Amino acid sequence: MSGELSPIDKAKFVAARKAASFVEEGMTVGLGTGSTAAWLVRCLADRMTTTGLKFRGVPTSTRTAALASDLGIEIVSLDEARWLDLTIDGADEFDKDLNLIKGGGGALLQEKIVATASDQMIVIADAGKKVDNLGAFPLPVEVIPFGWQTSKALMEELLVSMDVLGRKTTLRMNGDAPYVTDEGNHILDLHLNRIGNARQLALALNQVPGVVENGLFIDICDVVIMGFGDGKIEVHDINQGTVGQEQIDFLESDNLFTDLAD
Ligand code: 5RP
């Protein structure tokens, strides 16, 4: 199979397929946002169809909610669920402590709330997301529209005293207009190049007036499943302190997934 899948899609797919196997009957599962999380939603829908698995999903964006409903997954809101067994999501970067940068897809606020309200968070990612130091990927910060330029200026002032290598901040755009999140907010991307103290930065950013949340996920992720283009996966478990390896086979039926877009 999988002649049609690019190596990066294979990497995302095998990570997603492994993560889907962590979902058990009756669980309430946080469904992340982004292209890797979309593979997860497809793999879960496949398990539902082929094994009759029953579970409820709490989506972290309108995009994920639409995909999950299209595929027949039962959706509940976080307020209905209150607490989740597991959240599975992608990430833009992760380090050896499984701290993350998230929000490249603009859903960091719901993603952080849902992950924090879960017994366990599993991140699925291709191997390119592993970094020695967080910060090469611009750090997304969600701000309310009112006075966003003031919030931006205050954030730039704050960054002067932070252990970072770059300090440029940009307003995320969607064409000619500012990008708008599911909560009606904007996103400032912080081009920091290297973050020396992610924990300190995460706390400090949330003190800036107008900031709703930032994309640093510190001590939230329990397991990263990292996929490779040849079907290999690595399972990094921060609580057990283990790294396991496995090979996931592609099946002819996996072609079902190729024509589904994020
Ligand atoms: C969305 C996110 C995504 O998980 C992150 O951007 C990774 O996306 P992808 O799997 O498409 O690389 O944080 O807000």
For residue 40, tell me if it sits in a domain.
yes
- Say yes or no: 19 and 101 in one domain: yes
Nearest CA to ligand 1 atom 8: 34
Percent of the chain exceeding pLDDT 70 equals 94
**What pLDDT score does 254 carry?**
60
In whole angstroms, what is the distance from residue 65 CA to residue 71 CA?
Answer: 10
Kindly give the distance from the C-alpha atom of residue 179 to the centroid of ligand 1, in angstroms, as a whole number: 16
CB of 34 sitting under 6 A from ligand 1? yes
Domain hosting 186: range is: 139-214
Q: Which two tokens stand for residue 66?
A: 């639409």
Q: Is there a contact between 235 and 241 (Cβ–Cβ < 8 Å)?
A: no
**186, pLDDT greater than 50:** yes
For residue 170, tell me if it sits in a domain.
yes
Among 197, 178, 199, 200, smallest CA distance to 189 is for 178
- Say yes or no: 238 and 199 in one domain: no
**8, pLDDT greater than 50:** yes
- Say yes or no: 106 and 23 in one domain: yes
Residue 161 to residues 164, 199, 205, 209, 214, Cα–Cα distance (Å): 9, 14, 12, 17, 18
CB of 32 sitting under 6 A from ligand 1? yes
Which atom, in ligand 1's list, is nearest to the CA of 90? 4
- Catalytic one of 4, 25, 74, 111: 111
Kindly give the distance from the C-alpha atom of residue 192 to the centroid of ligand 1, in angstroms, as a whole number: 19
CB of 189 sitting under 6 A from ligand 1? no
Q: Is 111 a catalytic residue?
A: yes
Query: How many domains are there within the chain?
Result: 2
Strands ordered across the beta sheet of 223-227: 74-75, 56-59, 28-31, 86-89, 121-126, 223-227, 232-237, 242-247
**262, pLDDT greater than 80:** no
- Say yes or no: 191 and 240 in one domain: no
Q: Is there a contact between 88 and 40 (Cβ–Cβ < 8 Å)?
A: yes
For residue 261, tell me if it sits in a domain.
no
- Say yes or no: 33 and 162 in one domain: no
Average pLDDT score over residue span 16-34: 98
Which residue from 61, 89, 92 has its CB within 8 A of the most atoms of ligand 1, so it is best to mutate? 92
- Say yes or no: 125 and 152 in one domain: no
For the stretch 76-95, pLDDT in tens is 999 999 999 999 999 999 99
For residue 59, tell me if it sits in a domain.
yes
Q: Where are the alpha helices (DSSP H) in the chain?
A: 7-20, 35-51, 62-70, 78-81, 108-116, 148-160, 198-205
**What pLDDT score does 71 carry?**
98
**260, pLDDT greater than 60:** no
**What pLDDT score does 2 carry?**
44
- Say yes or no: 90 and 184 in one domain: no
Check which CATH number belongs to the domain holding 92 and give it.
3.40.50.1360
Q: What is the pTM of this model?
A: 0.95
- Say yes or no: 163 and 34 in one domain: no
Kindly provide the b/e burial profile for residues 161-187, where b requires at least 16 CB atoms within 10 angstroms of the residue's own CB. Answer: ebebeebebeebeeeeeeeebbeebbb
Average pLDDT score over residue span 169-184: 98
- Say yes or no: 155 and 249 in one domain: no
For residue 70, tell me if it sits in a domain.
yes
Which residue from 9, 31, 35 has its CB within 8 A of the most atoms of ligand 1, so it is best to mutate? 35
For the stretch 212-236, pLDDT in tens is 999 999 999 999 999 999 999 999 9
pLDDT class for 5, splitting at 50, 70, 90?
A: confident
For residue 262, tell me if it sits in a domain.
no
